[in-house]
Every structure is written in C-alpha cells, then in structure tokens.
Amino acid sequence: MSTPLEKPQIIAHIQKSLNYTIFDSKWIPCSAKFVCMGNFARGTGVIQIYEIQRGEVQLLKEIEKAKPIKCGTFGATSLQQRHLATGDFDGNLHVWNLEAAEVPVYSVKAHKEIVNSIDGVGGLGIGEGAPEIVTGSRDGTVKVWDTRQKDTPVANMEPVEGEAKRDCWTVAFGNAFNEQDRCVCAGYDNGDIKLFDLRNMSVRWEKNIKNGVCCVEFDRKDINMNKLVATSLEGKFHVFDLRTLHPTKGFASVSEKAHKSTVWQVRHLPQNREIFMTAGGAGNLHLWKYEYPAQRCKKDAEGVDMGVAGTVNLLQNVTLSSQPIASLDWSPDKQGLCVCTAFDQSVRVLIVTKLNRV
Amino acid sequence: MSCLSGQERGTNKVPVEHLDYSFIEKCTDVRYLEKILRILRSGEEGIFPHLIEYCEKHIRKLDPKSRALRKEKPPATAASFTKEEWSQITDELKTWEEEIKVNEVKIKQTPLLCNEENVPPVRGSHCSIQVKSYSIGANKTKKNAAPPRDYRDWDKFDVEKECAKIDGDITENEPAVIINHGLPKIRRKMDTAALTEQEKIQLADREKDKGNEAFRSNDYQEAVAYYTRSLSVLPTVAAYNNRAQAEIKLQHWHSALADCQKVLEMEPGNLKALLRRATVNKNLGDLQIACDDVKTVLCSEPQNMIAKRLLEELNTLMRKNTHGVASKGKKISIQEVEEECEELEQELPSHKQAKGFSQRVGGDSSRSTAPKERGDMGNTHKKSHGRNEGVGGGGSPHAEPQHAWRGKGGKNANKYKVQPNGEAPDSDRDKDKLSNGNCRGQPNDSKKTEQAEEKVNLDAPAGALPPPLARLKNEGNQLFKNGQFADALEKYSQAITGFTEAGIDSPEDLSILYSNRAACYLKDGNSTDCITDCTRALELQPFSLKPLLRRAMAYESLERYQKAYVDYKTVLQIDMSVQAAHDSINRITRLLIEQNGPEWREKLPEIPVVPLSAQRHRVEAPPTAEEAQARAERAAQEAAKRAEAQFTVLKMEGNDFVKKGQYQEALGKYSKCLTLKPDECAIYTNRALCYVKLERFSEAKQDCDSALRLEPSNKKAFYRRALANKGLKNYVACSSDLKEVLQLDPTVQEAERELEEVTMLLKNSQDSPDKPRRNVPITEVEEGDEEETQAPSRGPEEVKENSPGSQNHCSDGPDANAQPTNAYDFGQALNAACSRGDVAACTELLRSTSPEKLPLYICSHLDGHTLSFIIKVLDTHLMETDPKLVYQHLSHLHTADRFSVVLMLLDDNERLQMTQLFEHLSAVECEDFSNTDIQNLASKYIRASV
C-alpha cells in the first residue's frame, strides 16, 4: 500500500469455515468469546461458542436446537449472568444460560412466523430501566418482552386489522436514557421505518425509505436518542438526526449509496457512536464516520426549528467475501475488535486499527 | 467544462478522443471524469493503466470523496504494516485476551449480587400499538381538492361548524416541533449498589465515553451530565478533566475551576488541568494566576501549542488591561457605549456572553438552564467589577469606565491596571494630594460614594478654579465617565482656554486639566496630542504620575519604545507598585532588545532621577488614618469576596474528607481555608476536630483557642478543647472546658460522659501527688525513634489492635514512661510504647513498675505482641543493667491472667527470643536467683508454649 497508513485499517485476523449457515454472531460481554447462531443443513438450529486464543478461534461448545436460530442478543442480561436471548425460525423467543443450555431460562412462542430480528436493552449496564427484549417477525408484529412476565409480551406493535401484514425485518432499542423513556425502531420490507415510543405507547415518527429496511440501529441505546442509521435493500443507508423533529419534514437525514448491493447490517462502534460499519451483500465492509454540521438545528422559512443533517465520510472499505455478510458485531470490551459472518459459511474476526485517532 | 459542448454532455457516449491525458487534465466536471474512468476501467477502448491512474489522480484532486475512487480492497494483512506496528497490534490483542480472561473469571467468582428491588417493575399490562403501513401517497390524497358541493348541500351548510373544521385541520396539520433534549431527565447519580468493581470501572468508562461523544457534538450540558454520572460511579482524573472542559465551554467558570482543582489534587501537575485552570482564570480575570499556570505547562512541555497561544492571549489581555485602548483608535467609544448598556441590563440575562452562549447552543439551551446560566454570568460580571480588571472573556477586553469610577479600590497593585482604560480624570482630591507632594492620584476610593449615587454635582468646586471653569471640568469628567471622549475633550479644552484667559496662577489645576485632556486623546487614539498635553502637564507639575503614565502609553502605541521605557521607568521611581508599568517595561524591554540588540540600554535617553519628595513609596503618608483604614477594609472585603468561591469549595471538600475519615486531607483543606479567611470560627473548630482525631492535641487546642477568641461561646470549640486537653492530660483544664460546654448546653451527653471520665482521671492523678510526673526530654523520644529500627516492625493493624483506647493515648508520649499508678495508666503507657516500638520508654516503664503489680496491671493488655515486646525489652535493655529486676518481672509475669493463652499464640521467632532471654539470664551470675530457679521459671514459659 502506497498511502501512509493513517486511516483505520481493517485486518482479517482470523477466518474459520463452518459447516452450517450462520445467521448471527455476538460477542459474549466481558470475554474473548463469541457465539455463532445458525442453521444446520439437516434443518436444526445451532449455537456455537468460540473463544479467540492466540490468533485462533477455538470451539468451546456446540448446542443443537430443534429450530434454526435466526438472531440473538445479550442486551437484556446482566454482566454476571450473560444469558443469550434468541429468536428462531418458528417464532420462538428463548433465553439460554449458555453454561447449562439444555433447557431455556425463558421460553415463549413469540410470533406466528420467523423472528427476523431481536434486540435487548437494560442489561450489561446499557440503558436505564427494566431489561427488555424486542422481537420483530415476518408476521408483521413487533413485541417487547420482559422475562419476568410469562407468555405475553409487555408491549405489542401489530398491524391494523385487515391491513396487509408487512414483514418486519429489523428492530432496535434506543432512547433508554432514564427509567421511563424508551423507544423501539422497526424497519419493514416495504421501506417503512417506525419509531415507537414505549413510554406513551404511540408511534413517534414514521418514514418510508422506498426500499426494504434491512437494518436499523441507534448510535447508542442508552442516551437521549441522537442518531439512527437505517440500511436498505438497494445499497443505500440513511442517517437520521433524531434531535429535532420537524412537524412536516420529520427528522433531517443524510443518505449515502454505500454498496452496490443490499446493506445487510449496520453496527456502531460501542466506544465511539460517530463511527459505524456497514456490511454489504457483496461481501464488503465499509467503515464510516458521521460528522456533525456546524449547527444541528436551524429555522425554516416559517421560523420553525428543523434539524440539519451532517455528512458521512468513508474511512475504509474492504471486500471479504463474495457472499453477503449477514451479521457483524463489535466487541464491547476491546475497541476495534469485531466478528462477522458471511453466507459463505465462514466466521471472521476482524481488527480495525487506529479507531481512536479518527 | 468549457471544453464540453452541450451536445457531448447530453449523450451518454464518451468520444474516444476524450480518453486522453490533455483532455482529462483540462476537464473539471467530476461526473464526466467518472464516466471516463468507468470506460477506461471497463477496458472497452483498450487498457491504459497509466491513463487510469492519471484519471483517478485528477478526480481525487477535484473531489477526494468521489465514489468512483472507492475500490474494492482486500483486508489489510501483516504485510500492510511495518513490523513494529504489526507486533504492536498482535501484542495488544494478546494482552487483552489475557486480561479479559482474568476478568471473566473474576466476574464468575463474585457472588451474584441481586438488586431486585431496584429493577423497575414490569411494564404495565399488555398494551399494543396499531400500526398502519405508511404510504407515501396518503398525504397526497388528502391534498386533492374536495369535489364541488352539490347545490342542495349549501342549504345544510353550517358556517361555524365548517370554520371549526378548518381550524381543526390547521392545528392537526401543524403539530409543534419536537426538540428532543432529554437533559433534565438524565439522572445525575447512578445506582452502583449491586455492581462489582469491574462493572463499575466499565460503567464509569462508558459514561465518560458518552460524555466525550456529547462533547464532540457540542452538547456540552449533556456532556456535563454524563461526566457527572461517570464521576458518581468512580471519580477519575479524566472525567474531572473533561467535565472541566465542558464547563468551560458552558462558561460555568466556577464549576470548571473546582473540577480543575480536583484533578490537580488527584494528580498534581496534570498539564491539561493546568491549562484549563488557566483558561478559567483568564476568563475570571485572574490573569496573573492564569499566566503562572501556563508557564508551568510550558516548563514541562515547551512545545505545547495551546499553552503558547494561551500565553499570547494572556499577554495581550494584560497589555490591553494596562493600556490597550490607545492603539485601537476610535472604535472604542462605540464599544464602550455597548458595554454600558450591558451594565445597565446587568439584572437581565442578556449579557453579551450569555447571549452568545444561548445562540451557540441554539435550540438545545432549554429554559430551565437559562436562569442558572444567568446566575453564573452575573457572578463573572460582579467579579470583574470587584477586581477592577477587564471583563472576562475575549469579547470585551476593556474594563468599562464605570468600573473604575465605582471602583471598589482593589489591591494596590491592581489599581493602576484599570486606570488607563476606565480612568477617572484627576479631580479635586488629586489636587489636594498633589499639593501634599503625593502623586498617588487615586481618587477612586474617596470618590466612590459620590459617584455611586450617580448624582454628580456639576458645580462642585474644583480646586482653585473659578465656578464656570470648575463646572466645565466636572462636565468633562462626567462625559469622560460616560465614554463620550470627544465631548469631554471639548469641555477640557474650553476649560483650559478659559483658564489661560483668566490668568489664574494655579499650575496644579492646569496640569490636571491637561492631564485629563490627555486621557481623552489617549482614549481617542490621538497619541501625538496626548503626548503634547502630558508634556505640558508635566512641565507644570513635574513627576506627577498620571500624565507620565499616559505619555508612556501614548509613546508605546506610537512605537516609540525608548521614550515609553523612560517614562515607565520614571513612573516606577515614583511608585513601585504600578503593575501596569512593570508589565509594560517587561514587554518593551523585549522589543527594544529585538530592535537594538544587546546594547539597547546605551541607546536609551537619560532616565530622569525622581527627587525624593516625589517618590511615593518614600513619602508613605496616607492622607488620613480613616482613609487608609477604609481602603484596607475594602481590600479585605475584596479579597474575601474573591476567596469566597474558593473558600466554600475548600470547606466542602474538607467536610467531605472528615466524613470519610480522611483527617489528614481534611486538615490540609481547612488550613487552606484559613489562609483565605482567617476569621472563620467553624473552620477552626473543624480543623481542631481533625487535629484531635489525628491526636495532635496541642494544635487542636490552639485552634480551639482561636475559635473561642472569635466566638467566645462556641460549645463545639469548648468540647474539642476539652478533648485536646484530655489528650494532653491536662485534666483540670479539660473538666473546666467540659463544664463550660454543659453550661452552654446541658443536653450534650458526650460532654457529660467525658466529664465523668475526666473527673475520675483527675481524682486518680491527684491521689498520687507524691509521684511526680517526669517530663521526658524530647531527645529521649528521638532516641526511641532511632531504636525503632531495631524493634520488630509493626503493621498499622497491629498498632490498632494494641491500642484500643487510641483516642486517649497521646502520640507525643511524654508521659509514656511516667510511673504508673494504676492499670489504666500502665496500659496507656505500655500501649504507647508498644505501638511506637519505643523500647526506651518501655524499659523505663518496666523499671518503674514493681514486679508484684505487673501481672495485675498487664492482665488487660496482655497479648502476643505486647508479651514479645516486653520480652525483647527485658532481654536487650534490662538484662545488662538489672538482671534481678528481669528475674523478678519474669517470675511474676507468668501469673498474669490469660498468660498461658497468650503464650500459645506466640510464633516461632518470639519463642526463640524467649529462649534467648532465659539463656542470657542464666548466663548472668546473681545472688538473688540460682540457675535452678531460672530453669524452673523457664519451664513455665517454654514448656507451656511448646
């Protein structure tokens, strides 16, 4: 490389091929371990725990379950318990104690169809208030769960009776900066993004970005909501500034055509909310930085406050695979360490350098 | 673009001739270039790697962010890095792996801390939101024009209803804008009850990160909130430091200052904190302190750009404060009028800086924070009033003239700083002083009341001036004060003409008029005329301070540094305390050296020697005693006010330390408090408490005395003095103090209890008057200290264990080896000696105790350490001189209660010591005991312990 290596570099530290389709991967908090969740060819689900040991990944445990597992999260567990919440192809929500994973700690038939996406908040010291799990499903509903309440969700966002059910592809928690406030953002296959306010049980904002919403994420879950990134089917992503909601124009946003194919994932760096990585359908990763405008808020022609979007700068991009990268997770403990899985049935541990100098 | 015809741009095709170096070089249309690049890359027209590269380079030049430049890149590998970088990366990961594994184990091992009651309850019953799919067309259909009404409909038309509908539509369509700042809703304190240490560190770190992020996006209030949260979990230097920076951005100077102080306490010499403190002080107007801090930073980091810049700013500010206006020309009058408006609006929030702030933060500055901000700004403002220095902030470096007029005096060194900016033209009082041969020319103090009333008697007699001239002069003064320098100038000129026409012979008055006019010229930036007037004034009244100072400034602004230097020097000869002159001389010296090289001094014109009579510091004759006193009082008030903020901070910190039991630290804080405010009774009593706790009784007593001098009926002070006296074993004084407490407040139970105890002690000490206490000379204690190295070292816990009555035994220990008369005294003395390893004291003690009483005395204090200590003392100190006593002690010691138990607790070393003792003892020949006796005795010690 001729250019001086001042930019962050993405290093493919470890790569390992597996014998199943991996849908999701997550770091186990406060450890050098991560879990991979997926689907064996024989139609069963699998959770594997890997640990990185001196440049290698070592399989510590493999747990096979009846149904393919689509997604998982540690967001609603304590640092001591570290229970994994998963959603499977059959619409079940399970919470597993990975040390004793024969029987789930919590189990509920959450949806009629596949759980596409799951997120947790209130655990790991991230987010004030009760630990809760949100699931989004093909059946069109978004449900919020509290593991202290059996069988029924604590909140349910379902389509109006009689209207076509839209496939909910992604859900994310945010705005959990005190015990009362909390938001769920959901993205649907028709390009709808909906921001549900769990405090008032209302739709706070909605927007259609014309193409299916593959992934949404708040820059941080546990602050007064600041930014939201939504990625779409046709390769664009949008960054919304959530601080100023204009009555007609809504939130200000900036969009960027990042990949030539679907942007499957977006994940913000846990140590710096301005930096995020997008994972594309062509097996590439793009690392971005959001720059704020000089003024985040201005008056429009009628003197009403409206937000001003900033700009996004590409910091680095790499191509890892020819297959879509379906999941991506930053290590919460080590800045720059991340794990990603692609549909080429391999899992990769990446190191991103110089993130603190950006 | 000029090279492209519209036709070419319109078509999608790129002509082959455009794939050319010269065309690409000239083309500025990035879009078109991207198109060219695409064709080149596709290879449709052949492959030209150099051309591709060239095209890319050109695009990068025009638009570095162009998407066409994004190439698919493989991930970086070891080859992409230098060897060091790569090993650093891998090593870092390895160490992290190891650390995290250790941490993980730790977390698993810690018992599950449940915090069930603190977890918020389950969200209310099953609630749901009905979701409609958001169609883009939905709004459009609404906008479609309604179909025209049927004629019959008009019959049913209800105007009011329709109107309401329209109104309703409007409100429906325009919901209020939501500005989303949850700042007031963020909890400032975090609940960390159920967290392990590891989690706390993580949490504190994360909150700090959140603060940093908020800071970077200019949400300073949010940043402060998150830093506060981080600090509530775990106080760290970084979080304090960052909070200070955020506070600086919010212009909460005092909080920022407190944070910087915290950092510097935790980590003295923290450069960032020093710089930040300097910034705060700069804005609070403490330029000198700020300067000191910056210089400290530059000492350790001479290349620090921020520090350099700050120092420059500080220097300019100081210069401006001393004379700055002259060079600025005529703008000033306008500026000052503005500032005057601010001054009038002081009660309102619309202070210039406050305004600036709210604009900057924009919609984020919520209403609730506004009053707070206001208060803060008010403070800053007040401060600058009081200090007679430039108003804080870069915005208005000039002190308003009113400041000086109302001038609260200030310190001697400060007072001249202001003069040039907000200088009051000399007035009548000056004249009096001048005629006294005192050129101090500082009328502000005395004029203050007059001016404060804002009612200026324009006809006030002015020296020897006839009434019309006096009036002119006063009008001039008034105008000057209002910043209307040109008008003032006119008045003074009229007065001067009138003066010469009238042919009055009063050089003092004329000198003052000229001097005042010179001030106007200076303000107007007319330095030449200023110099002429000053020279005239000086001819009339040689060596008067103000004209000299003004002329110096005028010279300086004209860059005639040599003359300015001479004038400043002369000023200093008259009055050494003119800070402005000192500063300017420093500055000018530098400039002169630059200009004239090392021989600059030789090129200076002669500096006139000021006659003694005109030297202010020699003729130290303050006008009247009252005035001097008034000035001193004002100065004290001033200092107190300035110290107030710092004082409260220190006091709070001190109290916190006391609460935590860190008396030594608290002591430091209180002492600092007292340097600021030596007449605060509460601080004395608090410090006394610390001293008592630290067992420094005599100091405690002194503090109580001071407190009682300030507040003769302070019961806390009495009580603490009683404790101190008790510690000093002055039981009489102690009991009288306690009685005093009880007289003041009979309900104090502690005092009653103490009194009982002390009366007992008093009785005991009186019972044995025949045994005089011997005061051990200090040298002996030192000896003891030296021997301490020989004594077995004792951990602090052991000491504690050994001295259950630690609050009573005194650390100086002069009484440690007084003859004990009862078990209590003996125990005290023994504990004291034992805890300090004071072998000599213990020797004395054993010498003076009769062996028969030893078991009785020692029984309540006997433990392993005491025993081994006694054995050691007997062996090393008493054996040589008095083996008989050793034998007697030993033969009685084993009869003490619990002796056998204690013996079993001894460790091997101690047993060895015991054996040695008996060996030594048996080696001694003595008629009082035989070897068999010793063996019998030894068996009691050694056999029992084996």
Q: Which of B107, B131, B185, B213 to mutate to test the interface with A (most CBs of A within 10 A)?
A: B131
Question: Of B126-130, B407-411, B487-491, which one has max mean pLDDT?
Answer: B487-491
Q: What is the DSSP string of B691-747?
A: HHHTT-HHHHHHHHHHHHHH-TT-HHHHHHHHHHHHHTT-HHHHHHHHHHHHHH-TT
How many residue pairs bridge chain A and chain B with CB atoms within 8 Å of each other?
227
How far is it, in rounded angstroms, from Cα B189 to Cα B506? 72
Q: How many CB atoms lie within 10 A of CB B876?
A: 18
Q: Which of A1, A9, A208 to mutate to test the interface with B (most CBs of B within 10 A)?
A: A9
Task: Give me the long-range contacts of A194-198 (CB less than 8 A, separation at least 24).
Answer: A194/A157, A194/B131, A194/B134, A195/A228, A196/A142, A196/A155, A196/A157, A196/B129, A198/A144, A198/A155, A198/B123
Out of A80, A153, A159, whose CB is closest to B126? A153
Per-residue model confidence (pLDDT) at position B745: 75
- Sheet containing strand A346-352, edge to edge, reads A10-17, A346-352, A337-342, A325-330
Q: How many CB atoms lie within 10 A of CB B127?
A: 14
Out of B128, B181, B185, whose CB is closest to A156? B128
- Taking an 8 Å cut-off on Cβ atoms, the answer to whether B179 and A166 are in contact is no
Q: What is the ipTM of this complex?
A: 0.83
Per-residue model confidence (pLDDT) at position B397: 38
Question: 């009628």: which residue's tokens?
Answer: A302
Question: Of B303-312, B766-775, B934-943, which one has max mean pLDDT?
Answer: B303-312
**Choice between B859 and A32, residue whose per-residue pLDDT is larger:** A32
Lowest-pLDDT range of A273-277, A331-335, B153-157, B444-448? B444-448
How far is it, in rounded angstroms, from Cα B267 to Cα B62? 49
- Taking an 8 Å cut-off on Cβ atoms, the answer to whether A146 and B132 are in contact is no
Quote the mean pLDDT of chain B.
68
- Give the residue-averaged pLDDT of B528-533: 86
Cβ proximity of A39 and A21 under 8 Å: yes
Q: State the pTM of this model.
A: 0.51
Query: Under the phi-then-psi rule, with left for phi > 0, alpha for psi from -120 to 50, and beta for the rest, what region is B145?
Result: beta
How far is it, in rounded angstroms, from Cα A15 to Cα A20? 15
Chain A: give the shortest CA distance to residue B97, in Å.
6
Cβ proximity of B722 and B737 under 8 Å: yes
Chain A: give the shortest CA distance to residue B877, in Å.
59
Element (H, E) at B834: helix B823-836
User: How does pLDDT run across B657-669, given as a tens digit for each residue?
Assistant: 777 777 887 888 7
Q: How many CB atoms lie within 10 A of CB B297?
A: 25
How far is it, in rounded angstroms, from Cα B304 to Cα B294? 10
How far is it, in rounded angstroms, from Cα B923 to Cα B927? 13
User: How does pLDDT run across B873-923, given as a tens digit for each residue?
Assistant: 887 777 777 778 888 888 887 777 777 777 777 777 777 888 888 888 777
Cβ proximity of B321 and B390 under 8 Å: yes
How far is it, in rounded angstroms, from Cα B521 to Cα B528? 8
- Taking an 8 Å cut-off on Cβ atoms, the answer to whether A192 and B134 are in contact is yes
User: B65 contacts in A (CB within 8 Å)?
Assistant: 313-314
Closest CA to B549 of B330, B317, B323: B323
Question: Of A174-178, B75-79, B184-188, B343-347, which one has max mean pLDDT?
Answer: A174-178
- Taking an 8 Å cut-off on Cβ atoms, the answer to whether A273 and B213 are in contact is yes
- Give the residue-averaged pLDDT of B454-476: 64
Cβ proximity of B670 and B696 under 8 Å: no
User: How does pLDDT run across A128-147, given as a tens digit for each residue?
Assistant: 788 899 999 988 889 999 88
Give the confidence band of B415 by pLDDT, cuts at 50, 70, 90.
very low
- Asked if B6 is an interface residue toward chain A (Cβ–Cβ < 8 A), one would say no
Quote the mean pLDDT of chain A.
87
Phi and psi (nearest 5°) for A18?
Answer: -120, 170
Per-residue model confidence (pLDDT) at position A165: 83
- Side-chain-side CA neighbours of B76 within 13 Å: the count stands at 23
Answer yes or no: is pLDDT of B802 > 90: no
How far is it, in rounded angstroms, from Cα B804 to Cα B326? 73
Q: How many CB atoms lie within 10 A of CB B780?
A: 17
- Give the residue-averaged pLDDT of B7-33: 71
How far is it, in rounded angstroms, from Cα B250 to Cα B351? 14
What's the token pair of residue A303? 């003197």
Q: A167-205 burial, b for 16+ CB within 10 Å, e for fewer?
A: bbbbbbbbbbbbbebbbbbbbbbbbbbbbbbbbeeebbb
Question: Of A202-206, B312-316, B845-849, which one has max mean pLDDT?
Answer: A202-206
Secondary structure string (H, E, C) spanning A96-163: ECCCCCCCCCEEEECCCCCEEEEEEECCCCCCCCCCEEEEEECCCCEEEECCCCCCCCCEEEEECCCC
Q: Which of A223, A318, A333 to mutate to test the interface with B (most CBs of B within 10 A)?
A: A223
DSSP state of A260: S
Cβ proximity of A345 and A22 under 8 Å: yes
Give the confidence band of B678 by pLDDT, cuts at 50, 70, 90.
confident
Helical segments of B183-304, H only: 197-216, 220-233, 237-250, 253-266, 271-284, 287-300
- To 10 degrees, the CA torsion angle through B848, B851, B852, B854? 80
Q: Where are the domains of chain A?
A: 7-357
What's the token pair of residue B730? 């002055």
User: How does pLDDT run across B152-208, given as a tens digit for each residue?
Assistant: 666 666 666 666 555 544 444 445 566 665 555 666 666 666 667 777 787 888 888
Strands A305-307 and A92-96: unpaired
Largest CA distance in chain B: 145
Question: Of A42-51, B532-541, B641-650, which one has max mean pLDDT?
Answer: A42-51
How far is it, in rounded angstroms, from Cα B155 to Cα B162? 13
Cβ proximity of B272 and B240 under 8 Å: no
Out of B75, B93, B364, whose CB is closest to A10? B75
User: How does pLDDT run across B725-734, given as a tens digit for each residue?
Assistant: 888 777 777 7
Chain A: give the shortest CA distance to residue B73, in Å.
5
How far is it, in rounded angstroms, from Cα A27 to Cα A171? 19
How far is it, in rounded angstroms, from Cα A75 to Cα B610? 81
What's the token pair of residue B700? 């405690």
User: How does pLDDT run across A186-220, given as a tens digit for each residue?
Assistant: 999 888 899 988 888 888 888 888 888 999 999 88
- Give the residue-averaged pLDDT of B795-820: 42
How far is it, in rounded angstroms, from Cα B91 to Cα A303? 56
Phi and psi (nearest 5°) for A218?
Answer: -80, 150
- Taking an 8 Å cut-off on Cβ atoms, the answer to whether A130 and B123 are in contact is yes
Out of B75, B180, B187, whose CB is closest to A224? B180
Cβ proximity of A18 and A342 under 8 Å: no
Closest CA to B604 of B576, B579, B585: B585
User: A181 contacts in B (CB within 8 Å)?
Assistant: 182, 185
B713 burial via Cβ count (<10 Å: 0-12, 13-18, 19+):
exposed
- Taking an 8 Å cut-off on Cβ atoms, the answer to whether B123 and A154 are in contact is yes
Largest CA distance in chain A: 62
**CA separation, residue A97 to residues A82, A107, A217, B172 (Å):** 7, 12, 26, 50
- Taking an 8 Å cut-off on Cβ atoms, the answer to whether A157 and B72 are in contact is no
- Give the residue-averaged pLDDT of B25-33: 79
How far is it, in rounded angstroms, from Cα B39 to Cα B44? 6
What's the token pair of residue B497? 């003409």
Question: 């004239």: which residue's tokens?
Answer: B596
- Give the residue-averaged pLDDT of B6-34: 70
Answer yes or no: is pLDDT of A288 > 80: yes
DSSP state of B941: I
Per-residue model confidence (pLDDT) at position A172: 92
Domains, in order of start, for chain B: 6-69 (no CATH), 455-614 (1.25.40.10), 636-766 (1.25.40.10), 850-945 (no CATH)
**Choice between B925 and B709, residue whose per-residue pLDDT is larger:** B709
- Taking an 8 Å cut-off on Cβ atoms, the answer to whether A12 and B77 are in contact is yes
Helix (H, G, I), strand (E, B) or coil at B179: strand
Out of B80, B175, B198, whose CB is closest to A247? B175
Q: A336-347 burial, b for 16+ CB within 10 Å, e for fewer?
A: bbbbbbbbbbbb
What is the percentage of chain A residues whose pLDDT exceeds 70?
Answer: 98
Lowest-pLDDT range of A249-258, B520-529, B723-732, B767-776? B767-776
Per-residue model confidence (pLDDT) at position B801: 39
Closest CA to B400 of B486, B332, B326: B332
Strands B127-131 and A155-159: parallel
- Taking an 8 Å cut-off on Cβ atoms, the answer to whether A132 and B123 are in contact is yes
Cβ proximity of B581 and B552 under 8 Å: yes
- Taking an 8 Å cut-off on Cβ atoms, the answer to whether B80 and A188 are in contact is no
Q: How many CB atoms lie within 10 A of CB B549?
A: 32
Q: Which residues pair with B717 in a beta bridge?
A: none
* Residue B666 CB contacts under 8 Å (≥ 6 apart), including other chains: B654, B655, B656, B657, B658, B686, B687, B690
Q: A37-49 burial, b for 16+ CB within 10 Å, e for fewer?
A: bbbeeeeebbbbb
Q: What is the DSSP string of B598-615?
A: GGGGGGSPPPPPPPGGG-
DSSP state of B441: -
Strands A202-208 and A213-218: unpaired
Answer yes or no: is pLDDT of B413 > 80: no
Per-residue model confidence (pLDDT) at position A135: 93
User: How does pLDDT run across A270-285, given as a tens digit for each residue?
Assistant: 888 889 999 888 888 8
- Give the residue-averaged pLDDT of B728-746: 78
Architecture of domain A7-357 in this structure: 7 Propeller (2.130)
- Taking an 8 Å cut-off on Cβ atoms, the answer to whether B180 and A225 are in contact is yes
